Amino acid sequence: MEQHVSFKKHAAPFFILRKVRVIMDEKPRLKRGLKSRHVTMIAIGGAIGTGLFLGSGSAIHSAGPSIILSYLIVGIITFFMMRALGELILADPDSHSFLESIKKYLGKRAEFVAGWMYWACWLSLAMADLTATGIYLRYWFPWLPQWVGPLVIVILLMLINMVNVGLFGELESWFSMIKVMAIVVLIITGAVMLLLHTHVKGGYVSLTNLVNHGGFFPTGIWGFLLSFQMVVFAFVGVEIVGQTASETANPQKDIPKAINTLPVRIGLFYVGSMLAIMSVYPWNHITTTSSPFVQVFTGIGVTAAAGILNFVVLTAAMSATNSAIFSTSRSLYSLARNGHAPKRLGELTKKAIPMNALMTSSLILFVVVALNYLMPAEIFSVVSTVSTICFVIVWIMIMVAHIVYRKQNKQNLGSFKMPGYPVTSWLTLAFYIGILILLFFIKSTQLALIISILFAIFLAISYSFVRKNDKV
């Protein structure tokens, strides 16, 4: 008995020391500081941005009223992709992002390609959003150079993201709430004007405006197909939910909720706002140089409302940029954590902020300031096209990973399943591949597509050298 007591007495320090060593060896983890409303609003913030508020002008110009159908189709496909993404993430409770699911089911090389591709996705998206801020600011300050707005905003948002993830989530919630309210107000205003058959410049507010100016497909089927590039761009960013998994307080509850409600909300917002805009203001009067939202209120003579809406769309661009800064920093952190990027990028501050990754991504964004100085007219179209292609490639990899997962886990599936599998999974995959094929036949997007695919191939090849250097 004495020997037993003596053993415990002397052994205790050993166990304590072992525990201390384990704690010291553990890497600092991202904090679960994001609440349910944060997760939902972050995803809305990433998705509802310049694609709707500015890019929809180009989409309307390409397809006319048939753009409504484009948004509806892409919205449905986006929902299926999100369900596949959610199933992948929730199948592994310890998963930090969908990149880990890609690694598990497609291999480390695929994870390497997807990780760097996704980082490029959000980097180019942030560039598009920052460019938009420069355009919006010129509504009030026409003398202001287009590069000034992006410079100020990227510095401001970088500083905010340095504080903690909770502040980011809170800021993003308010950003997203403002633009959601603006869209709702626009839809309600359009509905009231429609019911009252209000007279505006150029005629009366009526649903007949959807067919009175060349029909529902005024630019033909080709024009309808051309709109898909900008429409798909309008939905990029929804998968950021898959990047918040490690910082979500209750991922098993919050992520399914965000996924199930988000695409429906976004689809309704897009379809509803397009119906309102083109019922009030004939589609052929809408230009591509400014937000259709602002154009509508300016056109009906409500200049004060136009100014307010311009503030809202500026907020929307800042919101999407905020989401982009968050996502690029977490992508770099995840890549570094898995040995695919310099180790320093995987370090966290005491407040659990991947500061090095954040600074690296934010500093690269200053490139867009220079681009807005050198080519202000063309920059938005260029970066939005690159962003669209990169996102579609990542979504294809998510869908392939999901199909492999379902084949390997037929008897061990979670409760959050992809509806309509396997038809919906293959349909979604085929749609995204079809978008890439379509972009190849559009002269303005051909070069961006080729560069993006070559970049993906370069990443796949360079992985071999990265692993070889690691072994050395």
Range with the largest mean pLDDT of 29-38, 408-417, 439-448: 439-448
pLDDT digits (tens, 9 = 90+) for 289-327: 667 777 777 766 676 766 777 787 777 777 777 777 777
- The class that CATH gives domain 31-471 is mainly alpha
- Given a cut of 90, is residue 423 above it in pLDDT? yes
pLDDT digits (tens, 9 = 90+) for 329-339: 777 887 787 77
Least confident of 11-20, 246-255, 300-309: 11-20
Pull the structure tokens for residue 267.
């689809």
| Mean pLDDT estimate for the chain | 75
pLDDT digits (tens, 9 = 90+) for 357-369: 888 877 777 776 6
> What's the predicted TM-score (pTM) here?
0.78
Asked if 164 and 351 count as a contact pair (C-beta separation under 8 A), the reply is yes
DSSP 200: E
Residue 43 to residue 261: CA distance in whole angstroms: 11
Residues 6 or more apart in contact with residue 322 via CB below 8 angstroms: 45, 157, 160, 161, 168, 171, 172, 175
pLDDT band at 380 (very low <50, low <70, confident <90, very high): low
Residue 360's pLDDT is 81
Region 118-123: mean pLDDT is 82
3-state secondary structure of 204: strand
pLDDT band at 13 (very low <50, low <70, confident <90, very high): very low
Domain ranges of the chain: 31-471
Residue 429's pLDDT is 95
pLDDT digits (tens, 9 = 90+) for 40-72: 666 665 566 666 666 677 778 888 888 889 888
| b (16+ CB within 10 A) / e for 361-391 | bbeebeebbebbbeebeebbbbbbbbbbbbb
